[in-house]
Amino acid sequence: MENMLDSPHLPFVHRRTIGKSMSRQMTPQSRLEVRWEATPWGGRTKAVLDGRDGGAFLEFYKPNVMALHIPVPGRHLRIHALVIPAEPGTTRLMICQSRDFARSRLLNPVFSWMNRRIADEDRAVVESIGSDEVPTAAEQASVATDRATLQFRKYYFESLRGSVSHPRSP
């Protein structure tokens, strides 16, 4: 879930897909500001590169859904990621896209292929963490651009952790 709320990894991990334009705009002097606004359902976060607002933003829906709003002039395009705990050590990621253009079913495989490619780019990063639970703030150094992920971490430790027992738990 933290990975899904983390905008700063886009120009690096997704430099060939959804992070391409951000990656191209970046310079060694670039600065990224991550904004977070609490909402009744969770929060809204936006990454502003060098003071430019590209229009994209992420919404967090408690407890485990992210919606990426991708700016397409005059159009609707969102990628929703549902982060579902499966068995211990395994998380199921379900991606649902909504759009009001290119609606032919024949195009679904193309969009599905692209969404899978983006998710696979995340897979290596997430699996390298080596744990299926977020570390405490003290266990990991954080920076200002971790703002959105730290909001989830706070929510996790305050409300989620231990709130649901796993079906296979004793």
For Fe ion, the binding residues (CB under 5 A) are 122
Largest CA distance in the chain: 52
Q: Which two tokens stand for residue 123?
A: 């897979």
CB of 166 to Fe ion, least distance (A): 25
**By C-beta, is 106 or 124 nearer to Fe ion?**
124
Q: How many CB atoms lie within 10 A of CB 15?
A: 17
Q: How far apart are CA 137 and CA 160, in angstroms?
A: 16
**By C-beta, is 33 or 122 nearer to Fe ion?**
122
CB of 129 to Fe ion, least distance (A): 13
DSSP state for residue 140 in the 8-state scheme: S
**By C-beta, is 129 or 164 nearer to Fe ion?**
129
Q: How far apart are CA 122 and CA 62, in angstroms?
A: 21
CB of 59 to Fe ion, least distance (A): 15
CB of 170 to Fe ion, least distance (A): 34
Residue nearest to Fe ion (CB): 122
Closest CA relative to residue 5, chosen from 90, 62, 73, 49: 62
**By C-beta, is 12 or 101 nearer to Fe ion?**
12
